[in-house]
Structure 1
């Protein structure tokens, strides 16, 4: 667009020129004329599409050459006045100006008025209309035997944060004047925009303006992908640009992605290791939300990007461990919690943004931790199962005992002893001894460790006590047991 500014205040005109070059989309060519005597010559030489005129400088003589030139620009003049005098208003009416500004100029209004003029300029509309070809969708999705590369357009793809706002975005793009040089093609979940220029710098400025304008006038954000590779077919540009847009899974919305700058992803074991399972369960049992956060955020930090499908499966494995925690505390019996659990499953499988999924899991686990704490206080949890789990995973700790486990569960030792004996048919101490001795027999067979070392590795600080207990429960000493297996 060619703009001519006519005003004596060169400083103010320079500021307006900077604003438009920075925030107005499309290619702008701006000239400034600070003398009314040179205005007619500037108009004839520059052939502006829009004139920004300080109407205070214009005489009321309708017979001047300048007045005659300006009348030909009816509907394309934006007038300025220092004082809103009646005579200046009459001049504006006579010239049929688009808008009469009173200094200081509202730059946002100026941008809107220029955009409206641009939208209705036949020359500019023609460039957009010519680009709309009935064969566009065929070129986009069907293989072609001929090269249908487009070197005079810039291929971009737009995705709204909320899928339900796609139609609203389409209408907004059609009705927003500032994007007059853009052809719009809606798809099922994105919108393709073809800018009628191959100048990437102009497109980048227009795209940033588009992001800003949508954010101001609508809820939610946009992600925009730009094809910046070598000329190729529409089908290939679509495929590469669509792939670049998938990076929004890691970054969220409000970003611009480039086809030539895509992340390198690497595979991730979708299943949790036994160590990871135990780490997660321990974090939940201890009410350590920070540990849960650290466990989850490792998937999105450090500049490492895992395959999206692997991440989703991995997070369902995390959800399986959370389910175990729910069952132990009978939290699945709460209708609201069970519903939230199912919603979280769908969030993991379907939501387009990784960070939102991770936050959803963290919020849910925080609630479970609070409810589990209440269940302990109300003695509704299955403390026997919890105690068995603690023993099975920590029997090698010599400090593990009935008081230690009861303290960890937040109940009294007497209460734990009573319910454990009732359910298991034996005291907790005897169950702990059996687990330790069973582990010891395995190590005696499979390793060459000394008996004293095996005792320590299984929670016995006194090797002599270990040997006596081993003989009482197994019927022979540790050394004889080992020799018997090696014969």
Structure 2
């Protein structure tokens, strides 16, 4: 931390300079002395690195002595553009003399030049100690379980949203003036820095200042994760694993912030697959074109986490389960044209690789809305005869337990008796037989492709109870549902 002392009898001017420095330069503390006596006392007690000296405040032997003993870098300020003022400034060892009025940027540039010079000197003197420290921790220890204890080190991860900017970030880290020189370990998706932990350092504030400086240098978002676990028995490898896991929280909270963890991160368990009732709910959402219901479901399930978070990997699997329901809806509505197929594949990749959950949900909502609108347009534009319309409606609604001929007749605007006659005439089957065929077809698929119980499958495809489903299935297929699943499982091995 660079200490700066301002000696100026003009309180407003001094406070203005103090604000300018503190708001523009990181890792500095600024103190103001309003008279010569206070300036001498602060020089002796505070031992500042930089002394900003308003020459009108006066001078005496005590000030000169304090300057010689503590050797701060001096920036002198004066309104007198004279040889006498310049000689007086030189006599006390001034490095930069600024004639009023000067621009704020000129003062900041001089301070930054001094700080960079300090940094170069510090790095030269620390080369030997840093080399020794580097020998203490090497790359292999991050990845090997037998590594040494992590106790002396604070782990801080710098994670960019785009890995392509890591070279720029690494260079910025190497040149940055931290209160303690870090060991820097660039990885493929982040950079891990190890600091010799010092209890008096406020690492949260240091990292916030780094974030501020980085964003003035680059516009690319990063997140900084501070691992302040206190377990002394942790190894370098264990603490690295814990830190890397902490970085995954950015999936939920985003970037451009500093996250601090005092304990090991633990994921909250979730079922990665939709339950039978949730599957029915999604079928209903899609068939009814219920965009609001879909939006509420996705928001409550994926965007309202607070203290504890689920494993992002399980969450991505759960999203693919939803996408599978949308896919089936697309197929049943004959929406597998190339334009929707390509969007579906792109959305699948987004679910797998997008680093932020809210962007996945946003894209999923947009895609689902387009599918619902496309199905409506297709229904309006297709010139299907009455029975084709009925069969299409049954394919979308076979899961309803109360689906009957009267509902179908209302949908197509025809009398139930007349519709029943048309069914037999065109399909050679009654409405009930056609509906049973659709349900049994879906039951076969679920028996082969899922691990759901027979009771769950029966409820999912529209049967009121398992016993009735089992009887209908055996009459239709010639085997019980259990026998069918066993035979198909053996045949697919």
Normalised TM-score (structure 2): 0.70
Distance 2:227 2:360 in 1: 29
1:131 aligns with 130
**Aligned positions of 1:24-173 closer than 5 A:** 25-26=26-27, 30-36=30-36, 39=39, 42-44=42-44, 46-57=46-57, 66=63, 76-80=73-77, 90=86, 94=90, 97=95, 100=98, 106=104, 114=111, 116-121=113-118, 124-125=122-123, 129=127, 130-132=129-131, 133-134=134-135, 135-144=137-146, 147-151=148-152, 153-173=153-173
In structure 2, runs of 5+ residues without a counterpart are: 440-462, 465-493
Match of 1:370 among 359, 370, 373: 373
Partner of 2:185: 185
Give the drift of 1:181.
Answer: 4.3
> CA 1:233 to 1:14, structure 2 compared with 1: closer, same or farther past 3 Å?
farther
Aligned twin of 2:314: 310
Compare 3-12 and 285-294 and name the one that shifted more: 3-12
Matched, 1:324 2:328: yes
Cα deviation, residue 345, structure 1: 1.0
Distance 1:423 1:92 in 2: 113
Change (3 A) 1:223 1:41: closer
Given candidates 379, 382, 396, the residue that maps to 2:382 is 379
Deviation of the 1:396 alpha carbon: 1.0
CA contact (8 A) 1:402 1:413 kept: no
Output one character per residue of 1:351-392: Cα deviation in whole Å (capped at 9) or x when no partner.
222222222211211222222222223217984553112452
Q: Is this contact kept in 1: 2:49–2:72, CA < 8 A?
A: no
Q: Residue 165 of structure 1 aligns to a residue in which SS? A: helix
Unmatched segments (≥5 aa) in structure 1: 440-456, 459-487
Match of 1:393 in 2: 399
2:411 is equivalent to residue 405 of structure 1: yes
Offset at residue 174 of structure 1 (A): 2.9
- Given that 1:394 and 1:400 are in contact with CA atoms closer than 8 Å, whether structure 2 keeps it comes out as no
Matched, 1:269 2:271: yes
Moved more, 176-185 or 188-197: 176-185
- The aligned counterpart of 1:204 is 204
1:188-267 matched pairs, under 5 angstroms: 188-199=188-199, 202-230=202-230, 231=232, 232-261=234-263, 264-267=266-269
Q: Is the 8 A contact 1:128 1:196 kept in 2?
A: no
Secondary structure of 1:192's match?
strand
Count of residues paired in the alignment: 424
Match of 2:9 in 1: 8
Give the 3 Å change call, closer, same or farther, for CA 329–391 of structure 1 in structure 2. Answer: closer
* Contact kept in structure 2, 1:384 and 1:423, CA below 8 Å: no
Q: More deviation in 84-93 or 244-253?
A: 84-93
Displacement after TM superposition at 1:299 (Å): 2.4
CA contact (8 A) 2:6 2:52 kept: yes
Distance 1:88 1:311 in 2: 74
Segment of structure 1 superposing worse, 263-272 or 86-95? 86-95
1:177–1:432 Cα change, 3 Å: same
Compute the displacement of 1:340 (Å).
1.8
Contact residue 56 and residue 88 of structure 1 kept, 8 A = no
Where 2:225 maps in the other structure, the secondary structure is strand
Separation of aligned partners in 2, 1:438 and 1:74: 90
